[in-house]
Amino acid sequence: MLRWKKEKQGTTALLIEGARRVGKTTLVKDFAEKEYKSYIFIDFSVIDKETDFLFENMMNLDKFFIRLQTLFGVTLYKRESLIIFDEVQNKPLARQAIKHLVKDGRYDYIETGSLISIKKNVQNIVIPSEEHSETLYPMDLEEFYWAVGNTTTPRQLSEVFQMKTPMGQAVHRRWMYDLRLYMLVGGMPQAVEAYIKHNNLQAVDEVKREILQLYFNDFRHIDSTGRAARLFAAVPSQLNTNASRYQIGSVIENQTAERVADVVAGLEDSKTVLMSYNVTDPNVGMNMSRSLYSYKMFLADTGLFVTLAFWDKDFTENVIYKKLLSDKLEANLGYVYENLVAQMLRSSGNQLYYHTFPTGKGNTNYEIDFLLSRGNKLVPIEVKSSGYKTHKSLDVFCEKYSSRVGGRILLYTKDYASDGQTVCVPVYFTPFL
């Protein structure tokens, strides 16, 4: 945000997209208070009639700004003030007006929104090209440490990763415990705040259930038939099947990936899910060979994922909390780690891709969980929720595409090690890959 303010100098608006309750409003308000002489905050989810009417006719910007300052009781200063359009998807005309407001150049503009790209919200307006878009993700592991008052461990993790050496069981166990706690609490600010305030995972779970229920309500705007909600709710069970892709037909009868493409696009736009696409020809330009109808779906926040996986159970019955904290997670719950890795990779700026290929034995396939592009080489990643260092898929993939591979990584729950050409990396190092 500071870089946008300094480099753009009012030539573009900043659009911050993100899931509901991810902290967009709090972040923008804090930024406004610290970086500007004054600001006006317009919340389009609860806008009054007078303010709403201002955006119906903006031919005279001088009059518009005078009325705006009067209604909000705020004085705006040229090139020293910020105007915030919060939940801008609820007022398409305000988003369209960004083009003219930016061209006018008097003030800076930040928009925040969820479900920004729903067609019914933008079909009758011209989407401004004068927008610089950024996505706000849930708090990552480093930010979680900061929130609980630990500024030492993030620096240590970075330093140790560069050393590429095991740290011993005492340190490793401590860092794995922290990671498992992060998996359970997640990175949604309200959930983290509940943990800090109450030091009680049941209180955290209640907050996460409220957020998930809010999402289910939002999904009606994506698809009134309920398909979006059903696809979202089935994410944990779909990952648990270990299928090579999301099986649409097993969730919604008589539906295919092609038929629900618009619904899935709406879910992706909502920022509540992360999409990982199967690539048919793994190479550095993976987007060119991704299959639009062969994908896996993850939740954008693993804390929410844990709660959703046991949605039908009371907290006291939710064995995953006890088992994760005590490091007794069964192998069949390893998909929680896969969701965590997806979240950590995406929030670090990586697009998500995977690759499946036949074993030559019946209809079974090898699978590379994640593929990263580094320079002109690929880095295949396999995720293990245990300490086992078996990596047949990695070995076969690297042999098949030897000229394209620049390294191979096994993410697992034990200390740093190497196994031949495969580097075995503790999962808490994922953000540094």
User: What is the spatial distance between Cα 281 and Cα 355, in angstroms, rounded to a whole number?
Assistant: 8
Of 59, 70, 61, 82, nearest in space to 5 by CA: 82
Q: Which of 49-53, 242-246, 323-327, 381-385 is least confident?
A: 323-327
* Beta pairing, strands 108-113 & 273-279: unpaired
Asked whether the predicted pLDDT for residue 180 surpasses 70, the reply is yes
- Of the pLDDT bands very low, low, confident and very high (cuts 50, 70, 90), residue 125 is low
pLDDT value of residue 36 = 98
pTM greater than the 0.85 cutoff: yes
Query: What percent of the chain has pLDDT above 70?
Result: 96
Query: Which pLDDT belongs to residue 171?
Result: 97
Q: Output the pLDDT for position 74.
A: 98
pLDDT tens figures, 290-330: 999 999 999 999 999 999 998 988 776 677 787 778 877 66
- pLDDT of 389 strictly over 90: no
126: confidence class by pLDDT, cuts 50, 70, 90:
low
Query: pLDDT at position 361, please?
Result: 84
Q: Kindly report the CA angle at 146 between 336 and 369, in degrees rounded to 5?
A: 25
Strand order in the sheet with 13-17: 38-43, 81-86, 108-113, 13-17, 131-135
Helices (H), 36-133: 49-54, 61-72, 92-104, 119-122
> In 253-300, where do the E strands start and end?
273-279, 290-299
Q: What pLDDT is recorded for position 123?
A: 57
pLDDT at position 129 is 80
In this model, does residue 122 exceed pLDDT 70? Answer: no
Q: What is the pLDDT of residue 116?
A: 59
Helix (H) or strand (E) holding 422: strand 422-426
Sign of CA dihedral 61, 66, 72, 77: positive
pLDDT above 80: residue 377: yes
pLDDT of residue 310: 87
Q: In the predicted model, what is the mean pLDDT of residues 155-159?
A: 96
Between CA 371 and CA 104 the distance in angstroms is 44
Of the pLDDT bands very low, low, confident and very high (cuts 50, 70, 90), residue 53 is very high
Which long-range contacts does 143-152 make (Cβ < 8 Å, 24+ apart)?
Answer: 143/187, 144/182, 144/185, 144/187, 144/192, 145/178, 147/192, 147/196, 148/192, 148/195, 148/196
- Could you tell me the two tokens for 202? 């049941």
Residue type at 371 in one-letter notation: L
Please report, rounded to a whole number, the percentage of residues in the chain having pLDDT higher than 90.
82
Q: What is the pLDDT of residue 313?
A: 80
Q: How far apart are CA 187 and CA 137, in angstroms?
A: 8
Mean pLDDT computed over every residue of the chain:
92
Q: Is the pLDDT of residue 218 over 70?
A: yes
Q: 59-68: buried (b, 16+ CB within 10 Å) or exposed (e) per residue?
A: eeeeebbeeb
- Of residues 133 and 121, more confidently modeled: 133
